[in-house]
Amino acid sequence: MDRRRFLRTLISSTAGLALGAAALRSAPAFANDPAQFAEGVQAHPWLLGWRSVTSETLGPATVDLQGRLPTGLAGTLYRNGPAWSERNGLRYDHWFDGDGMVHGWHFNGDGTLSHRARMVATPKFTREQKAGRFLYPATGTSIPNAQAVRNNDDANVANTSVIGINGRLFALCESGSAFEVHPDTLDTLGPVTWRPDLAALPFSAHPLVDRDGSLWNFGSISLLGGAGLLVWHIGKDGQLRSANVIQTPERGYLHAFAMTDQHLVFVLAPFDFNAAGGSFFERMQFAPQRPARIAVVAKDAPDKAQWFEAPFAAIYHFGDAYQRGDGIVLRAVRRDNMDEARSPMKEAMAGDGAHASNGRTSLVELHLDMRRGKAHWQDTGISTIEFPLFDPRTAGNRGARLYAPTVEGPATAPYFNAVAAFDVDRGRRQVWRYGTDILAEEHVFVPRPGSRDADDGWLVGTLLDPVNARSGIAVLDARHVQDGPVVQAWLPYAVPLGFHGTFVARS
Ligand SMILES: [Fe+2]
């Protein structure tokens, strides 16, 4: 498809090319009250994980590492998450709304660790900072008198993840462009346009790195009110290799995807829009009565898909996927409560610590029979996990060991307080419990330099200790998770919980 026709197809399938277009027609609903949230934090200190930042930068703070830094572990854990969630008496309702803050946790190699963080200076954040109030539509909260947006990047919050490509760093969000950030200073360099006709199109927050170092990603046109999937392929040099649009049979939500050596797999959860106005997540209703639509895209033909159907599943995050005979097996974290899936930790955002819930999640396998065109889900018996990651060096014909935050024993907060390694096929699990009061986030797998065997490396994860109002970081040996951190550090301050990160080893 030539470029012009490509764009025309895309635009004709969308309603206005703007995530916030729906919100502009909405009647303002009540957003949360910052004073009520502040009261909530007094009663439930773990709500610090959802407290808005009030400064564009944090740190740099340098602290001593407790324990011994493993030989070879040097570099930076970058993380991103919604951080600025209150302005002028209005607090966002939805966890996904806050403007993104990128964190750099630097292992300095001399026994110290330093942390700094900086808000991503998107056009939205910069203009709202100046105005002192929210000006633009949000994904999950109705903003009174929101200004019109010309394209996705006018409302882009760049708040979900961060990835390194060829020495460059990008803050990602599912609703618009990647924003380039300086890897040392964390200064924002601006939105990335991979090709002029693709400006401001969604570049999602969960790209996957292939064995050749190139990167696959998607952009969901459903977020813009249309139906269709944009498939991105970026070379390891950071240049666009291809961008293709796959027409989808109906509107479906997807936040991430899975990949085998030969295929990309996209699982779309059908949804409808409420007639009543509101933000995207206020109007969006999952349609569990309709089947999930699954697209399998061959990497050597990324402009077409083979479609499958399986019972509906609301999923944010996928684990690994692998080829088995004529089929594909993939792992995913299914969310079993539709309201919770639409607005995770909603009560926490409102400051209602007494009623907050993290919902119920199940680790499920999707089995795709490529020859017969059939798909089915299989339960693994593993529950209460999120943010699963694995060593991508795992061979392409077997399941990977999954690493994920989980809950073990009593927990003060309705959140994860432990990290576990799951050998799903053998039904084995290793777990490290941080404690009753600690909140545990995603743990990134970092390969040991020079190693080749899958799972030879470390887990680097962030923590919140609300009792002492401090955030921290832990490093565990991935093969001995039950032994706990080999090294750990605590900052003199607390930062809001985030979503995803990446470790960039010092070269
Ligand atoms: Fe995510």
Q: Per-block average pLDDT, block size 10, for the chain (507 residues)?
A: 49 42 44 94 98 98 94 95 97 97 95 97 98 96 92 95 97 96 98 96 97 97 82 98 95 96 98 86 95 98 97 98 96 95 96 95 98 98 98 96 98 98 96 98 97 98 98 98 98 98 93
Q: How much is the pLDDT for 221?
A: 87
For ligand 1, the distance from its centroid to the CA atom of residue 484, given in whole angstroms, is: 25
For ligand 1, the distance from its centroid to the CA atom of residue 117, given in whole angstroms, is: 20
In tens, the pLDDT along 371-382 reads 999 999 999 999
For ligand 1, the distance from its centroid to the CA atom of residue 498, given in whole angstroms, is: 10
For ligand 1, the distance from its centroid to the CA atom of residue 315, given in whole angstroms, is: 10
Q: How far apart are CA 415 and CA 46, in angstroms?
A: 9
Q: Mind giving me the DSSP string for 247-308? A: --SS-EE-S--EE-SSEEEEEEEEEEE-SS---HHHHEEE-TTS-EEEEEEETT-TT--EEE
Q: How much is the pLDDT for 29?
A: 52
For ligand 1, the distance from its centroid to the CA atom of residue 78, given in whole angstroms, is: 15
Strand-pair category, 361-369 with 327-335: antiparallel
Cut 0.85: pTM above it: yes
For ligand 1, the distance from its centroid to the CA atom of residue 255, given in whole angstroms, is: 6
For ligand 1, the distance from its centroid to the CA atom of residue 388, given in whole angstroms, is: 10
Tokens encoding 13 = 């399938």
The phi and psi torsions of 41 (rounded to 5 degrees) equal -65, -35
For ligand 1, the distance from its centroid to the CA atom of residue 211, given in whole angstroms, is: 22
Instruction: Give the closest residue to 139 by CA, choosing from 160, 120, 165, 123.
Output: 160
For ligand 1, the distance from its centroid to the CA atom of residue 454, given in whole angstroms, is: 24
For ligand 1, the distance from its centroid to the CA atom of residue 12, given in whole angstroms, is: 28
For ligand 1, the distance from its centroid to the CA atom of residue 317, given in whole angstroms, is: 6
For ligand 1, the distance from its centroid to the CA atom of residue 382, given in whole angstroms, is: 19
Q: How far is CA 375 from CA 294, 309, 386, in A?
A: 9, 6, 23
For ligand 1, the distance from its centroid to the CA atom of residue 316, given in whole angstroms, is: 6
Q: How far apart are CA 343 and CA 317, in angstroms?
A: 15
Q: How much is the pLDDT for 28?
A: 44
Extents of the domains making up the chain: 3-505
For ligand 1, the distance from its centroid to the CA atom of residue 180, given in whole angstroms, is: 19
For ligand 1, the distance from its centroid to the CA atom of residue 102, given in whole angstroms, is: 15
For ligand 1, the distance from its centroid to the CA atom of residue 161, given in whole angstroms, is: 7
Tokens encoding 339 = 């309201």
For ligand 1, the distance from its centroid to the CA atom of residue 160, given in whole angstroms, is: 6
Q: Which residues of 333-343 are buried (b: 16+ CB within 10 A; e: fewer)?
A: bbbeebebbbb
For ligand 1, the distance from its centroid to the CA atom of residue 115, given in whole angstroms, is: 23
For ligand 1, the distance from its centroid to the CA atom of residue 339, given in whole angstroms, is: 17
For ligand 1, the distance from its centroid to the CA atom of residue 333, given in whole angstroms, is: 11
Cβ(272)–Cβ(257) below 8 Å: no
For ligand 1, the distance from its centroid to the CA atom of residue 418, given in whole angstroms, is: 19
The 3-state secondary structure of 442-488 reads EEEEEECCCCCCCCCEEEEEEEEECCCCEEEEEEEEHHHHHHCEEEE
For ligand 1, the distance from its centroid to the CA atom of residue 159, given in whole angstroms, is: 10
For ligand 1, the distance from its centroid to the CA atom of residue 372, given in whole angstroms, is: 31
For ligand 1, the distance from its centroid to the CA atom of residue 205, given in whole angstroms, is: 7
Q: How far apart are CA 367 and CA 375, in angstroms?
A: 6
For ligand 1, the distance from its centroid to the CA atom of residue 85, given in whole angstroms, is: 18
For ligand 1, the distance from its centroid to the CA atom of residue 5, given in whole angstroms, is: 31
Contacts of 372 (CB under 8 A, 6+ apart): none
For ligand 1, the distance from its centroid to the CA atom of residue 150, given in whole angstroms, is: 26
For ligand 1, the distance from its centroid to the CA atom of residue 203, given in whole angstroms, is: 13
Cβ(103)–Cβ(82) below 8 Å: no
For ligand 1, the distance from its centroid to the CA atom of residue 206, given in whole angstroms, is: 7
In tens, the pLDDT along 229-285 reads 999 999 999 999 999 999 999 999 999 999 999 999 999 999 998 877 789 999 999
Q: How far apart are CA 210 and CA 207, in angstroms?
A: 10
For ligand 1, the distance from its centroid to the CA atom of residue 502, given in whole angstroms, is: 13
Q: How much is the pLDDT for 31?
A: 81
For ligand 1, the distance from its centroid to the CA atom of residue 178, given in whole angstroms, is: 15
CATH code that applies to domain 3-505: 2.130.10
Write the single-letter amino acid at 116.
R
Q: How much is the pLDDT for 30?
A: 60
For ligand 1, the distance from its centroid to the CA atom of residue 4, given in whole angstroms, is: 32
For ligand 1, the distance from its centroid to the CA atom of residue 141, given in whole angstroms, is: 19
Write the single-letter amino acid at 441.
E
Tokens encoding 320 = 């690994």
Q: How much is the pLDDT for 227?
A: 80
For ligand 1, the distance from its centroid to the CA atom of residue 335, given in whole angstroms, is: 13
For ligand 1, the distance from its centroid to the CA atom of residue 257, given in whole angstroms, is: 10
For ligand 1, the distance from its centroid to the CA atom of residue 426, given in whole angstroms, is: 27
